[in-house]
Amino acid sequence: LTLRKGGNNKLIRIMHCGSLYGFSEPLTFRSVPELIEHYQEQSLAHYNPRLDVRLLFAISRFYSRDVGDVEGLRQKLIVTTAEYEANNKRYHELYTDFTMSAQKMQLFRMKLSGMNEIFEMFNDQIKINENFQVQQTGNDRRKLQENCKILYIRVDRVKKSQAEFSTQLEDAAQRNRRLDREMNTVKPEIMRLQRLKTQYTMWLEQKGCIVSSKELSEDIADYLGQSQATPVTEDDAGAHAIFEQLYMTRDDIEQLMKKEQPSPAAKFTKTLSREDRLSISMASPPPLISSGSRMSMSMPSSPGFSSGSVKPHEDKNTWFVGPISRADSANRLQGKRAGTFLVRSKANANPGDPHVYTVDIQFRTLKHIRVFRGNSGFGFSEPYHFPTLKDLIVHYSEESLVKHNPDLPTTLLYPINAFPT
């Protein structure tokens, strides 16, 4: 495994013994894809403390270096950097407001604590006063009663102040939570733009164009001065084009097994949806050539509906089971035929958590696929362009899951509640 970290390439040996794989003993992974998927979620620091990083961005060995002309890449770098700086500025503003709001909350807590002590002190004074009234007569008793009335007035004032500070504390807490949510929304966008900046810079360097920080700052100033420009969408940025999964044909595999280089016409093969074609054309990736020899697995149609009728996938109740555990999901899918699936939600999910749902499917063994939620919709990986969870499920009832997991050459065939047997 070759890993880019700290400006250098790190080489990690993958060990193989019997049917298991891993970086070190004991070997626990049944396949290399399973190992990679694990370290996409978990840091490599578990294996090597000096490699505190995850396997985030896969690069195909067949990826073309022809990513567009220098001027086009330079313009994308300028736009991306301008967006990055704007989002970074916004994040720091939110963080400053968040810090000030937290300080106000601490001040209100201190005031409430002081008011509580004053309230207890006045109550003690009232009790002492009432005890003395019983023992006194005449003018002395009358003076104690007047003093007690003053104490009651002060207690009422303290109660009003307590209620006021409690309201201010709750308002500050709500503001703090809102700022925290906004920061959690901006932070992933900053990270995405930072990755794009790095990628565009690398592509420009490969073409012999080095852009200095001063030049980039001047170009950004010119860009912002000319116009505010049309906001750059995820498709226009083309972030996902960098990491598009490119499938080999059967001929490629046979040639690779013979240690031969695949033919140029067969290097890039993929069936593209309309959204993929639009995104890829805007991001200027290498051309993709259709091939009739692409491997595919013909899956049987689900009983009870035909291609012309309404699928049970259209009904969310046929596959959504709510917040159940992984163990409960495994029990429900145990013994089910290949292609049976369900969708469960994550218990106690935070508002800003991108991972909210998981698709569990029975295929040879039980497989789990995380569903992520982004600003533009749902998906198994970027770009998240399905408006609803149901749209994603219906799409993959016809489209193979192999693009997300090489061990899943199947579609979402049988919703668990639609075909219980």
- Give the residue, 31 or 256, on which the prediction is more confident: 31
Q: Which H helix or E strand runs over 10?
A: strand 8-11
Between strands 414-415 and 340-345, the pairing is parallel
Residue 250, pLDDT > 70, answer no
Q: How far apart are the first and last CA of the chain?
A: 43
Residue 93 has pLDDT above 80, yes or no: yes
DSSP label of 273: P
What is the mean pLDDT of the segment spanning 333-361?
Answer: 85
Residue 181 has pLDDT above 70, yes or no: yes
Residue 15, classed as helix, strand or coil, is strand
* 47-78: pLDDT as tens digits: 888 888 888 877 765 444 445 677 888 888 88
The pLDDT value recorded for residue 342 is 95
Residue found under tokens 């794009």: 196
- Residue 111 predicted with pLDDT over 50: yes
Please, what is the average pLDDT of the chain?
Answer: 75
Long-range CB pairs of 198-203, under 8 A, 24+ apart, other chains included: 199/239, 199/242, 200/73, 200/76, 200/77, 200/80, 201/77, 203/67, 203/68, 203/73
The stretch 202-210 carries a mean pLDDT of: 75
Q: What is the pLDDT of residue 361?
A: 94
For residue 317, how many other CB atoms are within 10 A of its CB?
10
Sign of CA dihedral 245, 250, 254, 257: positive
The DSSP H or E segment spanning 108 is: helix 70-135
User: Can you give the pTM of this predicted structure?
Assistant: 0.36
CA dihedral for 323, 327, 330, 331, sign (positive or negative): negative
- What was the pLDDT predicted at 360? 94
Q: What is the mean pLDDT of residues 236-243?
A: 38
pLDDT (0 to 100) of residue 351:
66
pLDDT class of 376 with cuts at 50, 70, 90? confident
Per-residue CA distances from 103 to 89, 91, 167, 179, 326 (Å): 21, 18, 16, 14, 41
Q: What band does 321 get if pLDDT is binned at 50, 70 and 90?
A: very high
Query: Which uninterrupted H or E stretch holds 8?
Result: strand 8-11
The average pLDDT across 365-391 equals: 85
